[in-house]
Amino acid sequence: MKDRIRKYLTLFSSVFMISAFTFGGGFVIVPLMKRKFVDELGWIDNEEMLDLTAIAQSSPGAIAVNASILIGYKTLGIPGAAVAILGTIIPPFVIISVISAFYAAFRDNRIISLIMTGMLAGVAAVVTDVVISMAGTLVRDRNIISITVMILAFIALRLFSVNIIILIVLAGLIGYIRQRAGR
Amino acid sequence: MIYLELIWAFMQIGLFSIGGGYAAMPLIQHQAIDVHSWLTMTEFADIMTISEMTPGPIAINSATFVGIQVAGIPGALAATFGCILPSCFIVTFLAFIYYRSRGMSSIQGILNGIRPAVIAMIASAAFSLITMAFYGTRYIPADILDIDVIAVLLFLVSVVVLRKWKINPIAVMAGCGLLGLVLYLLFP
ipTM of this model?
A: 0.79
Would you place residue A74 in the very low, low, confident or very high pLDDT band (cuts 50, 70, 90)? very high
Would you place residue A182 in the very low, low, confident or very high pLDDT band (cuts 50, 70, 90)? confident
- Is the domain of B97 the same as that of B167? no
* Statement: residue A183 has pLDDT above 60: no
The answer to whether position B115 is within a domain reads no
Q: What distance in Å separates residue B30's CA from the closest CA in chain A?
A: 16
The answer to whether position B120 is within a domain reads no
Sign of CA dihedral A35, A145, A139, A179: positive
Q: What share of chain B is helix, strand, coil (3-state, %, to 5)?
A: 80, 0, 20
pLDDT, residue B76, reads 94
Q: Do B117 and A135 touch (CB under 8 A)?
A: no
The answer to whether position B140 is within a domain reads no
Selection from B169, B176, B48, B39 nearest residue A30 by Cα: B169
Selection from A109, A162, A120, A101 nearest residue A25 by Cα: A120
Q: What distance in Å separates residue A154's CA from the closest CA in chain B?
A: 5
Beta strands in A43-162 (DSSP E): none
Report the number of distinct structural domains present in chain B. 2
pLDDT in tens, A150-172: 999 999 988 888 877 788 889 88
Of B56, B95, B130, the CB nearest to A22: B56
Q: Do B68 and A149 touch (CB under 8 A)?
A: no
Q: pLDDT above 90 covers what percent of chain A? A: 37
- Is the domain of B93 the same as that of B173? no
- Is the domain of B152 the same as that of B97? no
- Is the domain of B8 the same as that of B71? yes
By residue count, chain A amounts to 183
pLDDT, residue B105, reads 77
The answer to whether position B29 is within a domain reads yes
Q: What distance in Å separates residue A75's CA from the closest CA in chain B?
A: 11
- Is the domain of B92 the same as that of B159? no
Closest residue in B to A84 (Cα–Cα)? B88
Residues of chain A in contact with residue B23, where contact means CB-CB under 8 angstroms, are: none
Interface test with B, best of A119, A168, A177 (most B CBs within 10 A): A119
Domain end marker among B70, B101, B132? B101
Q: Do A24 and B52 touch (CB under 8 A)?
A: yes
Domain boundaries, chain A: 2-101
The answer to whether position B137 is within a domain reads no
- Is the domain of B96 the same as that of B155? no
pLDDT, residue B183, reads 92
- Is the domain of B79 the same as that of B169? no
Domain that holds residue B19: 2-101
> How much is the CA Rg of chain B, to the nearest whole Å?
21
The answer to whether position B123 is within a domain reads no
